[in-house]
Amino acid sequence: MTVLTRTILTRIAASIIMLVLISVFIFFAVDMLPGDVARAILGSSATTEALAALRTKLGLDEPAVWRFAHWAWGVLHGDFGTSITTQEPVTTIISFRLGNTLWLAALAAAISIPLALALGIGSALWEGSAFDRIASIVTLGAISMPEFFVAYSLVALFALNWQIFPPISTVTTDSTFLDRLDALILPAITLAFAVVAHMMRMIRAAILDVLGSPFMVMAELKGMPLRRRILRHALPNAAAPIINVIVLNLAYLIVGVVVVEVIFVYPGLGQLLIDSVAQRDLPLVQAGSLIFAAIYLTLNTVADVLAIAFNPRLRFPR
């Protein structure tokens, strides 16, 4: 068994164990949220008999361990239960919302990844230049700005002042690609603004580390053109940390959309999670949290595997 195969199997096994532990934590953490689900649904004027009947119907009168076992068995079979507020299958509700979140993350990645690569490579090649200094100052400023500030600034400028894009990102199942693109521009730019700075600085550091290696100095002394040194030697050797940081930021783009979706009232999984907590819709909260955790663990595993796959020193250790 090769090092890469053993690593993949180890990472997958560790991710499965971690996901099981996270599912236990999610269920019991959601179950311990303050308030009475039955009273939140029926209102403060509900009778004691009505509250007891609803708790029995929802299974809330059963022990928590039994309810977790029932929920986990359903999840293993692709059944996340039924929404308390809408009485629809959770899978049906989440599939549409998750698709919207993936649309937003994909557009943000299409903006942020090429921009971060260009800025990172350019800053590394022209280290100490005006371009490098300006890029560093701008990215430091971008990292220090919270997402809600960036989002509201974009809304004030492009939606209210210039009226180029809509302030609310409304999409439906019938929305065309252009309609989705128009609705997603501002939230995608907000997300990209949050991750470009981090990716750019990590890419710059990775390339500078390779450029300072002895084999790169030797290539320069031999008179090898700069373009060839970068494309043939620097980028392949810096690929592992670059790919690692890109994949980890992709995980953030998917999991970290909650604030952006709430600000733009975008019907994604993050917005659904917030609404479900407010409505005490426990099946939706548990399913949304578990999906976010599964996505994050999967992309972290992919990042670890790609880091080893692109690094010969890790694939063939002495």
Q: Tokens for 137?
A: 């100052």
Q: What is the pLDDT of residues 255-264, one digit of tens each?
A: 878 888 889 9
Q: Which of 241, 33, 218 is nearest to 124 (CA)?
A: 241
Residue 232 carries which DSSP code?
A: I
pLDDT beyond 60 at 60: yes
CA-based torsion, 227, 232, 238, 243: positive or negative: positive
Question: Are 295 and 254 a contacting pair, CB within 8 Å?
Answer: yes
Q: Which of 40, 68, 33 is nearest to 54 (CA)?
A: 40
pLDDT beyond 60 at 33: yes
Q: What is the pLDDT of residues 73-107, one digit of tens each?
A: 888 888 888 888 778 888 888 988 898 999 999 99
Residue 9 DSSP SS3: helix
Model pTM score = 0.82
Q: What is the pLDDT of residues 179-202, one digit of tens each?
A: 888 889 999 999 888 788 888 888
Q: What is the pLDDT of residues 135-190, one digit of tens each?
A: 888 888 887 888 888 888 899 999 888 888 888 888 887 888 888 888 899 999 99
Q: Tokens for 270?
A: 């993050």
Residue 164 carries which DSSP code?
A: -
Residues 285 and 25: their CA atoms lie apart, in Å, by 13
